[in-house]
């Protein structure tokens, strides 16, 4: 089922580019190096692929199948492994699994009541 984000990511180009967010680069010194890392609402994979290339064990979630297909292509091109999980941030069925790092870029725009 196509959703808003599938439509948003439908173009051939990467909507936000392929380089990691500047905020992630600034945050990285505070992360557990090489740790098990959850990247929430990862979109087309620029942040998860960057972290995987830096040695992190990465699981990335997003609601858009279109974005995740592009993220998988980006990971393949970079030669890194990322576990991609298709999920709705509001009903993700979060596991009890522990992570060393949780990264969430741009979800600060989610309405506060959620």
Model pLDDT for residues 83-102, shown as the tens digit of each residue = 999 987 777 666 777 899 99
CA angle 75, 77, 78 (to 5 degrees): 65
**What are the residue boundaries of the structural domains of the chain, listed by start?**
4-109
Model pLDDT for residues 24-80, shown as the tens digit of each residue = 999 999 999 999 999 999 999 999 999 999 999 999 999 999 999 999 999 999 999
Please give the Cα distance from 86 to 89 (Å, whole number): 10
Closest CA to 42 of 23, 59, 61: 61
Please give the Cα distance from 43 to 107 (Å, whole number): 11
pTM > 0.85: yes or no: yes
CATH of 4-109, one of 3.20.20.70, 2.40.160.20, 3.40.50.150, 2.50.20.10: 3.40.50.150
């Amino acid at each position: 089922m196509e959703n808003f984000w599938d439509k948003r990511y439908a173009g051939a180009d990467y909507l936000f580019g392929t380089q990691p967010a500047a905020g992630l680069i600034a945050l990285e010194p505070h992360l557990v190096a090489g740790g098990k890392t959850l990247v929430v609402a990862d979109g087309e994979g620029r942040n998860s692929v960057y972290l995987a290339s830096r040695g992190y064990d990465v699981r990335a979630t997003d609601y858009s199948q279109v974005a995740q297909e592009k993220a998988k292509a980006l990971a393949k091109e970079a030669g890194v492994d990322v576990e991609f999980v298709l999920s709705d941030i509001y009903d993700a069925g979060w596991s009890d699994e522990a992570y060393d790092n949780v990264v969430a870029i741009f979800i600060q725009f989610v309405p506060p009541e959620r």
